[in-house]
Amino acid sequence: MASESAAVLGSNNEEQKMREMKARAGRAIGVDNFMTGVFYVVAGFFLALLIALASYIIIKGFAGAKPYMFAFDSQGIGNQFWNTIYLVFLSLLISVPIGVMAGIYMALYAKKGRVATILRIAIETLSSLPSIVVGLFGYLVFIVMTGNSWNLFAGALAVSILSLPLIATTTEDAINMLPDSYTKGAFGMGATKRQVITTVLLPAATPHIITGVILAAGRGFGEAAALLYTAGMSTDLNWHMVSAATNPFNPFRPGETLALNIWALRTEALRADAAEMANLSSAILMILVLGFSLLAHTIERHMKKKSGV
Amino acid sequence: MKAKENSWNFFVRLCGGIVIALPIVIGIFLIIRGNMTFTKYHHSIIEFLFSSNWAPADDMTGGGHVGSAVYIVGSLITCGLALLISVPFSMAAAIFMTEIAPKGGNKVLRPAVELFVGIPSVVYGWMGMTILVPFIKKIFNINQGYGVLSASLVLAIMIFPSITTVAADAIRSVPDSARKGAYGMGATRWQVIYQVVVPAAKTGIMSGVVLGLARAFGEALAVAMVIGKTRSFPKGILSPTTNLTSAIASDMGGVMEGGEYNAALWSMALLLFLISLLFIFIIHRMAGSAERKEKKLEKMAEQAAKAEAAANGGN
């Protein structure tokens, strides 16, 4: 009898334990389901926010636009659009050769040791510099010290300081990602280091480097703080006379970009249509930036498919 | 042939040298110009950092006041609040795309987050001005919506993608064996995330947070557009104030080159530069300590394996 009741008690205890454990497991599963729901909501919220923001900016910009706003004169933002493209083009002309070469140096010349450490710190410092600080530096060195007034070229130099670390690190990554056999094979055929780099490694790394350059260009389009005191906040282009100082291709003239135009319209809104102009500028900037990053993504995906990674 | 090699090598080294020289040159210029407040115009660093009396003279004789406490506090508060808002969302998004739905996350959310990074800061500022500021004015029923809250929200949206991408990379690099071990013990997915994956990726996540903070500190125009630019300490999160970057962005163009006002603004830029260096230093320290810990664990595992082998050999 006694042993029987003990057994019943034991099974009761066991049952209770089981029940408790089941309840705990149930709670854990409940929390798990709840948190999964939270994650889906947050992810969905951000997707919705991005889509809403992008479409709102683009639709609002074009809905309020009048034909004269697209003109390439003082009434429209055509000149600013041109300046934006031209400034980024000039800045890439400077930052791509230097950045790619520096990337090669990092990947193949200074792999380890003190120089490599210093380079890494330098790149990190450059990439974390506030753009307004770069703008001030550019203002002092390219404007005050050279005795020039605001000009597009000074702006391009400031933007290239900002895009240099991105281009250098993507080049370094692109070269490091290549299989060792490329280098060994080329060296085995008696090629010099320069020949290995220029004829084997660089061509193989080019698609990856191009994605980095496109991303840098996308950032350049939207840069404003670094240009405040370098490229200047005015533009006056003469599209009919190539010999004029204000001809669009002269880099040594003030060149307000789209991003600066938004800033200027907000602070010194002298015209009645300032809000519509800023909306349109934002819309065009968004299309430029999103277009360039989509392009970079497409190239990257294409490359991944090709290499089968 | 030889000459070609030599000039190639020279050119490669030159470009590497430019990258090393650039931050040094920028630093030197900032120190020279930023120090003028303290050397030429004889202000103390204590006054610059802790006084709120800001009235620098816009000429070469000086004699004004350069207390920048309001600007510094404005920067600190907006960035801190932005971080508080942004970090939970960034963590959720990072966990979603690595642990919950890696396929959809990688295909849809990750590219979307990377697109966020590209949106120019002036566009954020402009949107903040035209959507967020009127909205805040309306729901809180106040005179104007410019202020700390608007600035923090704009900054939070701006730094969200930076933190998310770095945190997601850190979580992705946690070895699968850690997850499998926990699942094998019957843990639910949330338990695995909360108790295994996130602690393992802590250092990487923290670097992302510091990176986001650095970005927020250096942001100029977007904040300047919505912070209200009022030179007084904020009384609450709805009151307008100002910060370091907006002061530089809006005042630099109008002051006399080399004057006291100009020098004080350069000191602010120097302060921003030093803060960004500090952030890099913190990230390195964290990465360094994580590496040391990893090495120690590896060593312990090695020793354990050796001991086991010895014991087995004994048997």
Angle between helices B202-218 and B69-95 in degrees, nearest 10: 140
- Top residue of B122, B226, B256 to mutate, by most chain A CBs within 10 Å, is B122
Candidates B95, B123, B249; nearest CB to A285: B123
Is B118's CB within 8 Å of A218's CB?
yes
Number of Cβ within a 10 Å radius of residue A38: 15
Token pair listed for A219 = 């950032």
What is chain B's mean pLDDT, rounded? Answer: 89
Candidates B13, B116, B221; nearest CB to A225: B221
For B3, the closest chain A residue by CA position comes to A194
- Helix (H) and strand (E) counts for chain B? 15, 2
Buried b (16+ CB within 10 A) or exposed e, B81-91: bbbebbbebbb
pLDDT category of residue B69 using cuts at 50, 70 and 90: very high
Q: How far is the C-alpha of B84 from the C-alpha of B166, rounded, in Å?
A: 17
pLDDT tens for each residue of B33-46? 999 999 999 899 99
Using DSSP, state whether B66 is helix, strand or coil.
strand
Is A46's CB within 8 Å of B113's CB?
yes
What local confidence, expressed as pLDDT, does residue A309 receive? 44
CB neighbour class for B235 (10 Å; exposed up to 12, middle 13-18, buried from 19): exposed
What local confidence, expressed as pLDDT, does residue A68 receive? 83
B280 in A contact zone (CB under 8 Å): yes
pLDDT tens for each residue of B153-170? 999 999 999 899 999 999
Q: What is the ipTM of this complex?
A: 0.87
CB A200 within 8 Å of CB A179: no
Q: How far is the C-alpha of A100 from the C-alpha of A14, rounded, in Å?
A: 70
Chain A CB contacts of B253 below 8 Å = 228-229
Phi, psi of A53 (to 5 degrees): -60, -50
Angle between helices A114-128 and B202-218 in degrees, nearest 10: 50
- Top residue of A49, A132, A215, A279 to mutate, by most chain B CBs within 10 Å, is A132
Q: What residue has token string 């795309």?
A: B97
pLDDT tens for each residue of A140-190? 999 989 888 889 999 999 999 999 999 999 999 999 999 988 888 888 888
Q: Is the pLDDT of residue B309 over 90?
A: no
Phi, psi of A69 (to 5 degrees): -70, -20
pLDDT category of residue A1 using cuts at 50, 70 and 90: very low
Is A47's CB within 8 Å of B22's CB?
no
Question: What's this model's pTM, rounded to 2 decimal places?
Answer: 0.87
Q: Is the pLDDT of residue B63 over 90?
A: no
Is the pLDDT higher at B23 or at A294? B23
Token pair listed for A40 = 């889906």
Q: How far is the C-alpha of A277 from the C-alpha of A273, rounded, in Å?
A: 6
Q: How far is the C-alpha of A219 from the C-alpha of B114, rounded, in Å?
A: 12
pLDDT tens for each residue of B275-290? 999 998 888 888 777 7
Q: Is the pLDDT of residue A45 over 90?
A: no
For A31, the closest chain B residue by CA position comes to B190
Buried b (16+ CB within 10 A) or exposed e, B162-175: bbbbbbbbbbbebe
Q: How far is the C-alpha of B301 from the C-alpha of B304, rounded, in Å?
A: 5
Candidates B220, B250, B276; nearest CB to A129: B276
Is the pLDDT higher at A234 or at B177? B177
Phi, psi of B65 (to 5 degrees): -120, 140
Token pair listed for B313 = 């050999």
pLDDT tens for each residue of A275-290? 888 999 999 999 999 8
CB A234 within 8 Å of CB A254: yes
Phi, psi of A130 (to 5 degrees): -60, 140
Closest CA to B94 of B157, B171, B159: B171
Phi, psi of B66 (to 5 degrees): -120, 25
